[in-house]
Amino acid sequence: MSEMLERLQREKIVAIFRGIGQDHADAAAGALIEGGITMMEVTMNTAGATRIIDSWRTRFGEQAAIGAGTVLDMGMAVEAIDAGAQFLISPNLDEGVVALGASRGVSVWPGVMTPTEIVRAWSAGAEAVKVFPMGTLGWKYLAEIRAPLDQIPMIATGGVDLDNIGDYFRAGACAVGMGSKLVNLEWAREGKLDQLRERAAAFAAAARGRR
């Protein structure tokens, strides 16, 4: 098991930053870290994503693991890794990206939905997969596919909130990916860092079973 997968299974939440401006990104990330969320990704369809990754590695490298999301192809993967991304997450499966990550020492957690895709990703060398879109499929779907595939770590992404996060973990998720329910862009833009911090603390507590 890689160090990054170990961290993922310990921390249990990946914060997804999509569409945030660089002028707000550092402060928002700092607020989440203070709240107890220490794994975060910047999606590659965010303007200036690689600059944000580079900035976060410099500012928060000792406190947090920084990755890239929405990594669709090899080109994006190379850009993200060169910027300092420590893990890559995709909505899709590209075996070439999985192989590149392995060659560069960067964890790759590709997006899958069906049992066939999950096993294909595992066979390609992915040490964990992102089951997406969970907002449509729901935790019961996760529980069903985990029954025969329980040896493959699965990250549930989409539709997770404070009320159902426990259901996803009980269904077998090793971690969850969280976007707007955790990273409120309006708060970030308005400088409401206390609210971001409090929201992060609530989710961190829930992920560790303290809620």
Q: What is the DSSP string of 168-192?
A: HHHTT-SEEEESTTTS-HHHHHHT-
Instruction: List the catalytic residue out of 11, 12, 41, 127.
Output: 41
Indicate the length of the chain as a whole number: 211
Query: Is the Cα torsion angle 156, 159, 163, 164 positive or negative in sign?
Result: negative
How many other β-carbons are positioned within 10 Å of the β-carbon of residue 21?
14
Instruction: List the catalytic residue out of 11, 12, 127, 130.
Output: 130
The yes-or-no answer on residue 41 being catalytic is yes
Q: Taking Cα atoms as reference points, which of 14, 3, 6 lies closest to residue 158?
A: 14
Cβ atoms of residues 96 and 122 within 8 Å: no
Catalytic sites, residue numbers: 41, 130
